Amino acid sequence: MNNIPKIKVGLVAVSRDCFPAPLAVNRRKAVAEAYAKKYDANDIYECPITIVESEIDMVNALEDIKKNGCNALCVYLGNFGPEISETLLAKHFDGPKMFCAAAEESQNTLGVQGRGDAYCGMLNASYNLALRNVNAYIPEYPVGDADDIADMIHDFLPIARVKEGLDHLKIISFGPRPANFLACNAPIKQLYNLNVEIEEESELDLFEAYEKHYCPEKYHLDAAVVEKQNKEIADIKADMMKELNITEPTEKQADMLQKFAAYEATLVDWVEANKGYRKYVALTTKCWPAFEDMFNFVPCYVNSRLTGRGIPVSCEVDIYGTLSEYIGLCISEQPVTLLDINNSVPKDMYKESIEGKFDYKFTDTFMGFHCGNTCSAKLVQPHIGYQKIMANTHPQEWCDGTMEGDIKPGDITFYRLQSTADAKLRAYAAEGEVLPVATRSFGSIGVFAIKEMGRFYRYELIGKNYPHHGAVMFGKYGKSLYDALKYIGVAPEEIGYNHPAGDRYPDENPFA
């Protein structure tokens, strides 16, 4: 399912009228050529209109990039640049935008026909962007040669996907949250500030929709609707059997797969029927305790499958959890997961399997867990299980449906975007890894290691009142995530990270 944006960047060169325009044109062509050599040429469109000191050129360039399907913009200062026209272009372009500038090519081309002064022009561009209240991404060092600029544009793609994705995202939640479970409760005001739409539904609505898929004969549905649903469920069931390596299901397996497939079809159909004018959707559901009583299974496996298809589904009506997952999906372009920052690693496990083998202190480690929501592609020996915690209060057969296995070892980025109780945006990010250590536990679970996690846990996660759910990208994406968070409006001082040893948190006890 295509649930994240495909970015096409309009590359527009700008030139001040007292500088030779061919300087900017030739530098723009060099950037496009460099990008095509290093990356996918379809990511960018080279606009042939060079903006000089003309608002008409700006309008023509804007129309041209829109006509050619660009949903992101790169304003490239080939020389000093026309600060009014170039920032008007950014102001009137409806989508993510970046600014960068050309470096000088050689000591032999610093005469009046070859020197561009774009290093200077970037300063005035940033000043004028602020005057017009235009938010544009500017790389860490935004001046470079053609190869450098090509890299900057490529680095911009995940940031642009996040911005474009959130601007067209709807979160559909089925709640309310479980009783005595305030941890994931947060004001939705910041969703609207991020341009995200939210649709909150009840469990009863979801159950009715499921019943119409699972046992349509009770509802006297139109025959054509039933036929369509049955085919959809059959196709999903066949795909599940392929994923689980089941060729001849037992009677119990067949019944279980029928329920899972009907539930997945219910959610997919709900998305299509309710996304409205939005292009992209993320989901969050209440998965206990009434879910087991009414559906007689748990939704974890279906959640894992949808996440694998690019539709994040968070547990326990965690709206900012699924928002975080969606951001990670846009950045990494691969399945993400949402886990409890769950339990400490036992000391005997640390001594036997980690100490001396990996460069981590005991307090750098913890176990990330959820009941069974992680995509099977990210698990070692994935298999269907049952929700062992819920089975303490429900019949075991009502708790079938977890996707279980140790999480595959490798690099990760652990992160979350959250609204505080007083509706301020706050986020954290930390890079680390899942260690190749057997968990000897249940659910979707892994042994995680993050440098200085103990201090990060105390002074960032506890100190700033984050809930226990954290999102996980499989790979090191901290740089893109940090820039994306800033670009969508999270204040830099509100983006926490795991401080290295010797770098104190503001409230850290210096004598501890």
Q: How is domain 9-166 classified at the architecture level of CATH?
A: 3-Layer(aba) Sandwich (3.40)
Q: Which residues contact 282 (CB under 8 A, 6 or more apart)?
A: 169, 170, 171, 172, 311, 312, 313, 314, 322, 323, 325, 326
H or E, element range at 375: none
The helix/strand/coil state of 362 is helix
From the centroid of its chain, how far is CA 492? 18
- CATH 3.40.50.10940 in the chain is located at 9-166
Tell me which amino acid residue 115 is: R
Question: Which residue carries 């401080």 as its tokens?
Answer: 499
Compute CA 88 distance to the chain's CA centroid, rounded to the nearest angstrom: 30
Instruction: Give the span between the Cα atoms of 33 and 23, in whole angstroms.
Output: 16
Distance CA 210, CA 216 (A): 9
Give the contacts of 224 (CB within 8 A, at least 6 positions apart).
none
Of 440, 172, 145, the closest CA to residue 313 belongs to 172
User: Which of 382, 383, 401 lies closest to 391, judged by CA?
Assistant: 401
Query: Alpha-carbon distance 373 to 469, whole Å?
Result: 13
Comparing CA positions, the residue from 401, 399, 383 lying closest to residue 391 is 399
Distance CA 331, CA 511 (A): 39
Distance CA 281, CA 162 (A): 13
The residue with tokens 């996660």 is 461
> What pLDDT shows up at residue 67?
97
**Residues in a beta bridge with 403:** 384
Name the nearest CA neighbour of 363 among 353, 355, 371.
355
CA triple 292-298-302, angle to 5 deg: 150
- Alpha-carbon distance of 367 to 440, in angstroms, equals 11
User: Who contacts 445 (Cβ-Cβ below 8 Å, separation ≥6)?
Assistant: 342, 367, 368, 369, 370, 406, 407, 439
Dihedral (CA of 304, 310, 315, 321) sign: positive
pLDDT of residue 1: 56
Q: How far apart are CA 327 and CA 280, in angstroms?
A: 12
Specify the pLDDT at position 412: 98
Instruction: For residue 501, give the nearest of 491, 493, 490, 512 by alpha carbon.
Output: 512
Report the C-alpha dihedral over residues 385, 389, 392, 394, rounded to 10 degrees. -60
Instruction: Write out the chain's pLDDT in tens, 512 residues.
Output: 589 999 999 999 999 886 778 889 999 999 999 999 999 999 999 999 988 888 999 999 999 999 999 999 999 999 888 899 999 999 999 999 999 999 988 777 766 676 768 899 999 999 999 999 999 999 999 999 999 999 999 999 999 999 999 999 999 999 877 777 777 778 999 999 999 999 999 999 999 999 999 988 888 888 899 899 999 999 999 999 999 999 998 989 999 999 999 999 999 999 999 999 999 999 999 888 888 889 999 999 999 999 999 999 998 999 999 999 999 999 999 999 999 999 999 999 999 999 999 999 999 999 999 999 999 999 999 999 988 888 888 888 888 889 999 999 999 999 999 999 899 999 999 999 999 999 999 999 999 999 999 999 999 999 999 999 999 999 999 999 999 999 999 999 999 999 999 999 999 988 88
* Helix H or strand E encompassing 230: helix 223-243
Report the distance separating Cα 264 and Cα 238, nearest Å. Answer: 13
Q: Which is nearest to 275 in space by CA: 172, 203, 123, 369?
A: 172
The total number of residues written for the chain in this structure: 512
> What was the pLDDT predicted at 21?
84
DSSP string, 286-340: --SSHHHHHHSS-SHHHHHHHHHTT--EESTT-HHHHHHHHHHHHHHSS--EEEE
75 beta partners: 12, 99
Paired tokens of 127: 């000043």
Alpha-carbon distance of 361 to 356, in angstroms, equals: 10
